[in-house]
A and B are shown apart, each in its own frame.
Chain A
Amino acid sequence: MELLHGIYRWAEITVEIYHHYPYLQEQCRAYRSNDKPQFSLTLTAEDLAQERQKADSPNYPADYLESLACYRKFCELAAPEGVLLFHSSAILLEGKAYLFAAPSGTGKSTHARLWREIWGERAIMLNDDKPLLRVKPEAILAYGSPWDGKHHLSCNLAAPVQGICFLSQGRENKIARLNWRQALPQLLAQIYRPEEIAIMQQIWQLTTEIAKRIPLWQLSCTISKEAARLAYQTMSGGIL
């Protein structure tokens, strides 16, 4: 089987990919680049086999597994560049990224949808599932990527992170600031974890930096526009 080839740019990292299935090319179309690649990745049959072992369903088709393997391998080469995958729903509003994280099924995509219902086209989905974060000396930025959840909501943009909010379901809407020590377990739980120890050390270092530099919040909420307004008002002002 002849390999397909493409050059893509994610979180300011340009990478050329050699792979087998057209699905990946289609998925990553909006991220094509003409830059000189910094890295080269080849997705092998072995990568696919490993991905199949890790997958939560045995029935994923090979082209989807190849796509998962691609993101995994990208994240592992991106960590030394200060980039990690943060499982969350990332909304871009007024030039800032608002990130909502929660265990699967809590309703972070639903909450993000309410932001779009309130602010219309002004609220853009950077990524509804697996955005990338890049820790820079001057700012921490969130980036769109094509691994974007079941509704495929994402765009090829970037913005400084205004805040990270951990969601839980509640009977009323309450938001509180968390200090970095309180938030670390939840933050780490939503960050992609590599198997390789040296890469995990880099990811851990980036995680603690994100925890200390970004305002962190806990929102207990109903599924309502009031909850979305409360989150925006509190997080955008950065005050309680």
Chain B
Amino acid sequence: MKLKAGVIISEVDGTYFGVAAGEAGKAFNGLIQMNKTAAFIAQNLQEDTTEEQLIAKLEEKYLVSQIEAQSNISKVLAQFKAIGLLE
């Protein structure tokens, strides 16, 4: 799974935002505000990946437990799915 092409993730003064253009822009034209963890997950979803790979990356990056990583990822995936940005 991955995000549709065209999700632009950027940090502005400590806040993370997502906007969409291209294919992603056809599905979503709002503004996503994210925390650092969600932005990290979103960045990793720019390339094709699996939930297991995401969990491993999050555990490594933030030294969180597998359960915590899984819970974070599920939430972020559900949100991206809800706004139509997940391929």
Contact = CB atoms under 8 A, between A and B. Distances in A.
Interface of A: 181, 184-185, 188-189, 193-197, 199-201, 204, 208, 212
Given A188-B31, A197-B5, A200-B8, A181 B15 contact: yes
A208 B10 CA distance: 11
Given A181-B15, A184-B17, A204-B19, A197 B31 contact: no
B84 interface: no
A184 B31 contact: yes
B22 A197 contact: yes
A52 B30 CA distance: 24
Interface residues of B, number: 17
A208 B71 CA distance: 31
B27 interface: no
A185 B25 CA distance: 15
A197 B5 CA distance: 9
Contact of A200 (B6, B17, B31): B6
B29 A193 contact: yes
Nearest to B22: A197
Interface of B: 5-6, 8, 10, 12-13, 15, 17, 19-22, 25, 29-31, 33
A195 B22 contact: yes
Contact of A201 (B8, B15, B30): B8
Indicate the member of B20, B25, B30 with the most A CB atoms within 10 Å.
Answer: B25
Given A184-B31, A185-B31, A188-B19, A193 B10 contact: no
12 contacts: A181-B15, A185-B30, A193-B25, A196-B22, A197-B5, A197-B22, A200-B8, A200-B21, A204-B17, A204-B19, A208-B12, A212-B13
Nearest to B15: A181
A188 B45 CA distance: 24
A194 B26 CA distance: 11
Contacts of A204: 8, 10, 17, 19
Nearest to B19: A204
Contacts of A208: 12, 17
